Amino acid sequence: MLDYALLAALAAVIRTGSFERAAQQLHVTPSAVSQRVKLLEERVGTVLVVRGQPCTGTPAGQRLCQHAERVALLESELHRDLPGLEPAATPVTLRVAVNADSLATWFVAAMAEVPDCLFDLVLDDQDHSADWLRRGEVLAAVTAHAKPVQGCDSSPLGALRYIATASPAFVRRHFPDGPNGEMIARAPCLTFNSKDRLQAQWLHHALGTEATPPTHWLPASQAFVDAALAGLGWGMNPEVLVADHLRAGRLVALMPDRPLDVPLFWQRSRIASRTLAALTAAARRVARGVLVQPYP
C-alpha cells in the first residue's frame, strides 16, 4: 500500500526541483521532506530522485509522481462531492503542455474559465508538446498532432494563423522590390528556438525555397513582435498579436496573400476528471473565437 504523504513529498521535490521549495510547499522542514523521500525509496527499492540543481525524478520517480498527481486530482473532486470530508489543503494543480504562441494569444483565457485550480504549464513547440503526454508528464497538451497519444483523446481546435512580418524600414532595406529567394537568404530573420520551423515552412510554402537566412534567437512571443517592430529581422508572428501593428503601419506583411496556418489540437488524458473536462471545454470554446475555423 502506497503512503500518500511520502508520495506528496516526492512529487513536490520533482515538480519544484528542490527539497527546500518542496518543504515550503508542504509546510514542513527540508529534513522532513528528505526523510520522506528516503523512506519511499527504501520501500520501493530504487532511487526516485536525482539530487542536483535542480533535483529531477528518475523514471520510477516520475511514474510515482504522475500517480500522486492523478490521485490528488481525483481526491480534490471527491472532497467537493462529499461535504463531510475535510476540504483539500490547497487547490488541485493541472500540468499542461502548451506552445508559447497559444499561451500568448488565447490559452490564458481558457485557464481563467476553470476556477479553484492551479496550473503548472510546460512550454514547448507544438510539434513536440505531445511528447510530454507520451511520457505521462502532463495531463493535456496543445499540439500540432491530430493522432491521439495512447490513453488520450484528441479534438481539433482550429489553426493559428501566422503572418511573415517586418518593419517598413526593414522591408525597404532588404526587399525593395518584394521578397525573393536570393534576398531572403541574406536578410536576418527571427527564430524562437532550435525547434522552431515556422520560418522554414513559410519560405517553402510562399517562395519555394529552402534558404537558411541568418537569424536572431528570441525565445519569447512578445520579443518576436518587439524585434520585428525594432527592425531586427522578419519573422512569423501570430496574426492576432500583430493585427493592430499591421493596421497602423508599424509592421507590414512580406506577402499578405501568403499566411501560414498551423492546425492545433487539444489532447487530454482519458482520466475521469471533471476539472480536466472543464478545461477541455474551455480550451475548445476559447479557441473557436481566436483560431481560424475550420482548420485545414
- Summarised one tens digit per residue, pLDDT across range 137-164 is 899 999 999 999 999 999 999 999 999 9
Average pLDDT value for the chain: 91
With H, G, I as helix, E, B as strand and everything else as coil, classify residue 245: helix
Q: If pLDDT is split at 50, 70 and 90, which confidence band does 116 have? A: confident
Q: Which residues of 218-253 are buried (b: 16+ CB within 10 A; e: fewer)?
A: beebebbbebbbebbbbbbbbbbbbeebbeeeebbb
Q: What pLDDT does residue 273 have?
A: 86
In this predicted model, what pLDDT tens digit does every residue of 265-275 receive, in sequence order?
A: 999 999 888 88
Residue 234 has pLDDT above 60, yes or no: yes
Nearest to 57 by CA among 119, 136, 150, 128: 136
Nearest to 142 by CA among 162, 161, 163, 121: 121
Q: Which residues make up the CATH 1.10.10.10 domain(s) of the chain?
A: 1-90
The contacts of residue 30 (CB under 8 Å, 6+ apart) are: 19, 20, 22, 23
Contact 246, 165 (CB under 8 A): yes
In this predicted model, what pLDDT tens digit does every residue of 18-45 receive, in sequence order?
A: 999 999 988 999 999 999 999 999 999 9
Q: Which residues make up the CATH 3.40.190.10 domain(s) of the chain?
A: 160-261
Q: Which long-range contacts does 20-25 make (Cβ < 8 Å, 24+ apart)?
A: none
- Give me 114's grid cell: 476553470
Burial class of residue 199 (count of CB atoms within 10 Å of its CB; 0-12, 13-18, 19+) = buried
The pTM score is: 0.84
Q: What is the CATH number of domain 160-261?
A: 3.40.190.10
Q: What pLDDT does residue 87 have?
A: 60
In this predicted model, what pLDDT tens digit does every residue of 177-222 receive, in sequence order?
A: 888 888 898 999 999 999 999 999 999 999 999 989 999 999 999 9
CATH architecture of structural domain 1-90: Orthogonal Bundle (1.10)
Residue with cell 520551423: 197
